[in-house]
Structure 1
């Protein structure tokens, strides 16, 4: 502010009202780099949220949450400032109207001074109007960024849900294949287990391998039929 006063001291009359405007304008301009940084981050998130591979998405939710936190903090700081500036503008307008009424009833040498004060109030009110427009624009931009981040957040969660559904589908497919395999193998295991027990089995008292090969053939046929039925039923 002091630098602006030194630069403009030959062109303007520095008054407390102008210093007040300069301070508000400097504070308002200090938000511009933050909003520009948020804009770049929002554009990056919006472009990458649907393009990143699964291994690169670990910090996307953290980036979205951190950026939304900064947006909400700036909205909290700026959302009410437009009304504050509007109140100051109204104050200058009232002071200007009072100056007009006073100037109408007072003549002489004080008339040029009152006219100069009214002109300064009018100029400061115009400057404050520019600040108000700037604040309103920043608030609108922040609301737009919040909308983009909310959409990116929803898209990210939807993508995660789709990936989980795909993983679950693959797992269910593997479990289904294992179930079919177990359905075919378990009866065979039961039958072969009988030969290791003290029970009567076909061909136990015979010395040849006819029954053995017949049992193997039945097992093979059972396996082929079981896998054929599973294949036809799209289970494998």
Structure 2
């Protein structure tokens, strides 16, 4: 600030108000690298989201808190600087000096407004990113549930197919004395055929219903 004022003797001649302006101008100018850093962080978050990395919700939340704190610092600045302009006009300084200082303050106010607008846009972007992250996480959970459901359908289908021949075999394995098939020469092929037919019928039913 001192070097800037030393290089601008006309501004320095405006007195203490010029020094105050120079300090505020320097403070606001140093906000812009912070804004650029936040922009880079938001760009990285966007890239991670579209790459399918959903483990960024915590980072989005933490960055949102930083943006809110930053917004609290920059949002009041335009109004404060407007009050400073009104104060300068009441100081009774030389008209040309007051006009020059007022023009400089208008420029600083413009910078402050730009800062506030960009920070506000960051809040909106991060809010959208957090919503998108939640939506993608919900979508992934739904897809996982659907995939698991398809796996359960396949497992249940094959279990039913394998259970039916086992049931038929279990009945024939009970050693009943009175069973028509025991004295029938085709009883054994009949039992095997019944197992195959039942299993094949179940397979076709499950296949038609897209369980397999």
Q: TM-score range by the shorter chain?
A: 0.7 to 0.9
1:40 paired residue number? 40
Aligned partners of 2:177 and 2:105: how far apart in 1? Answer: 105
Pairing 1:177–2:154 present: yes
Aligned partners of 1:199 and 1:93: how far apart in 2? Answer: 114
- The number of residue pairs the alignment matches comes to 212
Q: Do the aligned residues in 1 keep the contact of 2:168 with 2:195 (CA within 8 Å)?
A: no
Deviation at 1:11, TM superposition (A): 6.7
Deviation at 1:193, TM superposition (A): 3.0
Deviation at 1:61, TM superposition (A): 2.0
Change (3 A) 1:186 1:140: same
1:235 paired residue number? 211
Task: Note the residue ranges of structure 2 that are not aligned, 5 or more in a row.
Answer: none
Q: Do the aligned residues in 2 keep the contact of 1:75 with 1:139 (CA within 8 Å)?
A: yes
Over residues 46-73 of structure 1, what are the superposed CA-to-partner deviations in whole Å (9 max), with x where a residue is unaligned?
34422x14xxx15422332232222211
1:107 paired residue number? none
Pairing 1:219–2:195 present: yes
Deviation at 1:221, TM superposition (A): 0.7
The structure that has the greater radius of gyration is 1
Q: Do the aligned residues in 2 keep the contact of 1:46 with 1:148 (CA within 8 Å)?
A: no
Considering only aligned residues, what root-mean-square deviation do their CA atoms show, in Å?
A: 2.6
Scaled by the length of structure 2, the TM-score of the pair is: 0.85
Task: Trace 1:76-95 onto structure 2 (pairs within 5 A).
Answer: 76-95=72-91
**Runs ≥4 residues deviating over 4 A:** 195-201, 203-206
Aligned partners of 2:115 and 2:14: how far apart in 1? Answer: 28
Scaled by the length of structure 1, the TM-score of the pair is: 0.78
Pairing 1:165–2:142 present: yes
Q: Do the aligned residues in 1 keep the contact of 2:5 with 2:11 (CA within 8 Å)?
A: no
Q: Do the aligned residues in 2 keep the contact of 1:180 with 1:230 (CA within 8 Å)?
A: yes
Q: Do the aligned residues in 2 keep the contact of 1:92 with 1:122 (CA within 8 Å)?
A: no
Change (3 A) 1:75 1:190: same
Task: Trace 1:57-136 onto structure 2 (pairs within 5 A).
Answer: 57-95=53-91, 99=92, 117-136=94-113
Aligned partners of 1:61 and 1:234: how far apart in 2? Answer: 37
Aligned partners of 1:201 and 1:212: how far apart in 2? Answer: 15
Over residues 117-159 of structure 1, what are the superposed CA-to-partner deviations in whole Å (9 max), with x where a residue is unaligned?
3333332222221111111111111122222222222222222
Change (3 A) 1:135 1:205: same
2:27 paired residue number? 27
Q: Do the aligned residues in 2 keep the contact of 1:184 with 1:223 (CA within 8 Å)?
A: yes
Over residues 66-125 of structure 1, what are the superposed CA-to-partner deviations in whole Å (9 max), with x where a residue is unaligned?
322222111111111211111111111233xxx3xxxxxxxxxxxxxx6xx333333222
Task: Note the residue ranges of structure 1 that are not aligned, 5 or more in a row.
Answer: 100-113
Change (3 A) 1:119 1:143: same
